[in-house]
Amino acid sequence: MLVLALGASAADAQPRRPRAPREPRVFVTVGAGALTGTEATDRVEWLEHVEIAVANVSYGSGARRLVGGSVGVRLWRQLGAGVAFTSASHEGAAGVEGRIPHPFHYEQPRDISGETGALSRSETGLHLQVLYIVPTTGRVGLMLSAGPSRISARQDTVTRVQFTEAFPFDTAAFQRADTRALSASAPGFNAGAEATYMFTRSLGVVGLVRFTRASIALMRPDGDRLSLDAGGVQAGAAVRVAF
């Protein structure tokens, strides 16, 4: 809020200058692209054969499909403010490496490893932006943006691992994972650049690159937390309408 408030008061303080009629004041952008994934690793523990079983889970880092949009307004000279919304989702298996206690003996765990079925992860972000419109001429434009974000993430998390074992129990095999969807949100930031090519005064295309980041703690019912780096590098193409 601090950045925006300052921006507004600065705009108030400046005398209004006559602006070139071609310069639009408000622009609306809608587009799609991809968000680079971030890996997350987790350690899950549960009681098995009266000892602690452990599974180390690595949630994949595959790129996520991204859709989004933004509204920006030029406030004063080259400065403006905007708000952007992004939504990204991804489905992928998680890798599991675990140690399952032996049913008959203490401290003789069996190693297991495997992959879960498709787990989903989705993120939605609301990004406030201070905009800087780089002075250019012609149809090509460039705009830089930065500001605070609020990112919400939802992740299917592994809660325990099912395995098979048989006498004499010296080995165990991964069978599947029990999962639970967790979600949380956290504040973060965004910074990016957008290049535009305007076909007409009010319609153009945009190529954008944006970096967002928020550290989110997903809380499990047992009180443990899974830390998730939400966000990443967003790259996309969009259509822009300017007024």
Partner 1 sequence: MLRRLRPVMAAAAAWLLLTTSLAPHPEAQVEVRGPVQITAGAPAEIRQWTPLLEGMLRGGELRRRPPRPDRVMSVRSHDRADQYHRGVRVFGGDVVLQMESAQVLSIFGTLHRGVDLDTAPVIDEAGALAAVERRGAEPHLDAPELVVLPRDAGAYLLAWRIRATLPGDIRQFFVDARTGAVLLDFSDVKSQVPIIGTGTGVLGDQKKLSVRRAVNGQYVAEDGRRPPTLRTYDMQGNITRTVDFLSGRVNLNPATELAADADNNWTDVMAVDAHVYSGWTYDFLFKRFNRRGLDNGDVRIVSLVHPARREDFSTPLGSQWPLFFANAAYFGSGVVAYGVGLPPGVTAGGRTWDYMSGALDIVAHELAHGVTDYTSDLIYLNEPGALNEAFSDIVGTSVEFFYQPAGTGPLRADYLLGEDVVRPNGIRSMADPGMFGHPDHYAIRYTGTADNGGVHINSGIANHAFYLAIEGGTNRTSGMAVLGVGGVNRQQIENVFYRAFTELLPSSATFSIARAATIQAARDLYGVNSSPERAVTEAWTAVGVH
Residue 6 beta carbon to partner 1: minimum distance, rounded to whole angstroms: 11
| Nearest CB to partner 1, comparing residues 34 and 126 | 126
Q: How far is the C-alpha of 125 from the C-alpha of 191, rounded, in Å? A: 13
How many chain residues are in contact with partner 1, going by CB under 8 A? 46
Q: Which is nearer to partner 1, 120 or 227 (CB)?
A: 120
Q: How far is the CB of 168 from partner 1 (least distance, A)?
A: 6
The span of 57-65, 73-81, 92-100, 190-198 binding partner 1 (CB under 8 A) equals: 73-81
User: Given its phi and psi angles, is residue 139 left (phi above 0), alpha (psi -120 to 50 degrees) or beta?
Assistant: alpha
Chain center to CA of 75: 29
What's the rounded Cα separation, in Å, for the pair 148 and 191?
A: 9
Query: Distance between CA 171 and CA 112 in Å, rounded?
Result: 8
Asked if residue 221 binds partner 1 (CB under 8 A), the reply is: yes
**Cβ contacts of residue 56 below 8 Å, gap of 6+?**
41, 42, 43, 44, 96, 97, 98
The nearer residue to partner 1, 139 or 171, going by C-beta atoms, is 171
List the x/- string, 165-204, binding to partner 1 by CB under 8 A. Answer: --xxxx----xx-xxxx---x-x-----------------
Amino acid residing at 79: L
One residue of 6, 8, 52, 134 binding partner 1 per CB under 8 A: 8
Q: Which of 19, 43, 52, 117 binds partner 1 (CB under 8 A)?
A: 117
Comparison of 137 and 167: residue with beta carbon closer to partner 1: 167
Residue 57 · residue 236 · CB < 8 Å:
no
Residue 1 binding partner 1, by CB under 8 A: yes
DSSP class of residue 15 equals P
Query: Is there binding between residue 219 and partner 1 (CB under 8 A)?
Result: yes
CB of 127 to partner 1, least distance (A): 10
Asked if 32 touches partner 1 (CB under 8 A), the answer is no
Taking the complex as a whole, the smallest distance from the CB of residue 98 to partner 1 amounts, in Å, to 16
Put residue 21 in one of left, alpha, beta given phi > 0 → left and psi -120 to 50 → alpha.
alpha
Contacts of 222 by beta carbon, 8 Å cutoff, 6+ apart: none
State the Cα–Cα distance between residues 27 and 58, nearest whole angstrom: 41
Q: Does 19 bind partner 1 (CB under 8 A)?
A: no
The residue count for the chain: 243
Q: Decide if 123 contacts 152 (C-beta within 8 A).
A: yes
What residues make contact with partner 1 under the rule CB under 8 A? 1, 4, 7-8, 11-12, 26, 49-50, 71, 73, 75, 81-83, 102-106, 117-118, 120, 126, 128, 150, 152, 154, 156, 159, 162, 164, 167-170, 175-176, 178-181, 185, 187, 219, 221
